[in-house]
């Protein structure tokens, strides 16, 4: 499996090269390429005729990481992403897709280098701005729980949280992260937020935002705010597993349209 070195980590990378437009696919916090596939968030599985780059973010899946919370802030993950794109797709415009933390990473990268992206497909953006502080405190509590009582205590509490109706039928999964790294990942997430609204409003990249209902960590209100801010954006909201099953085809349409 190819790896790519960034400061403080080795990233596990895979490229599915069928020619055509370059696409980069990210994943969410505590997830990975493998776990997103189990959760039906591997939208790239429906793509053909593209060069699809997928990777595990630092500290996740098969990538390495350090017990340094600052390493997992979204602007740092955006640095990693831009380095990957410079290496794999130098000088090319890329379509970016990813959920939650992946959305945060893509938006920070697009603020920094908007010309790098031909289009964006943003999935279940996390709670942000005014609603972020409460979520950050939950992340810090999770970090302390794991340190004091172990991973099983965290998993036991996490499994009691109701699942969004669109995800009914997908298997229960656990973090694809080494236990000793999880507290640092959660503290890095607690330090993170989406870019400032005025910075997002300057991203003139065609964007689709995909949300689902009844998920306090990824509220539809964040998705709606992004669509209001972004100059060329549209919103689709999933209520059922059937709606969720459409998302890979939406990515295909986005890539064809923006590529």
Give burial (CB, 10 Å; 0-12/13-18/19+) of 91. Answer: exposed
Neighbours of 160 (CB within 10 A): 6
Look up the domain containing 223 and give its range: 3-258
- Residue 178: which CATH number? 3.40.50.1820
Question: What local confidence, expressed as pLDDT, does residue 75 receive?
Answer: 98
Question: What local confidence, expressed as pLDDT, does residue 40 receive?
Answer: 83
Question: What local confidence, expressed as pLDDT, does residue 162 receive?
Answer: 84
| Count of domains for the chain | 1
Q: Tell whether the torsion through CA atoms of 214, 216, 218 and 219 is positive or negative.
A: positive
Mean pLDDT, contiguous 10-residue spans, the chain (259 residues): 94 95 97 90 89 98 98 98 98 97 98 96 96 95 96 84 88 93 98 98 97 95 98 97 95 90
Question: What local confidence, expressed as pLDDT, does residue 159 receive?
Answer: 66
């Amino acid at each position: 499996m190819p790896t790519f070195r960034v400061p403080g980590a080795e990233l596990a990378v895979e490229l599915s090269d069928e020619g055509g437009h370059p696409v980069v696919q990210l994943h969410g916090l505590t997830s990975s390429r493998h776990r997103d596939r189990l959760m039906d968030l591997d939208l790239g599985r429906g793509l053909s005729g593209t060069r699809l780059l997928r990777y595990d973010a630092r500290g996740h899946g098969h990538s390495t990481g350090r017990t340094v919370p600052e390493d997992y802030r979204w602007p740092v993950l955006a640095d990693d992403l831009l380095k990957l794109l410079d290496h794999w797709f130098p000088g090319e415009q890329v379509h970016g897709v990813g959920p939650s933390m992946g959305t945060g990473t893509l938006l920070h990268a697009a603020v920094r280098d908007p010309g790098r992206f031909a289009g964006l497909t943003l999935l279940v953006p996390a709670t942000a701005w005014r609603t972020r502080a409460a979520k950050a405190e939950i992340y810090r509590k999770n970090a302390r729980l794991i340190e004091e009582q172990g991973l099983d205590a965290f998993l036991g509490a996490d499994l009691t949280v109701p699942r969004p109706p669109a995800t009914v039928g997908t298997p229960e999964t656990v973090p694809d992260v080494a236990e000793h790294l999880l507290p640092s990942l959660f503290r890095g997430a607690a330090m993170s937020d989406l870019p400032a609204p005025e910075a997002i409003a300057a991203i003139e990249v065609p964007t689709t935002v995909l949300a689902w209902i009844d998920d306090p960590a990824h509220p539809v209100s964040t998705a709606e705010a992004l669509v209001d801010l972004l100059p060329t954006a549209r919103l689709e909201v999933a209520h059922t597993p059937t709606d969720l099953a459409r998302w890979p085809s939406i990515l295909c349409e986005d890539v064809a349209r923006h590529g």
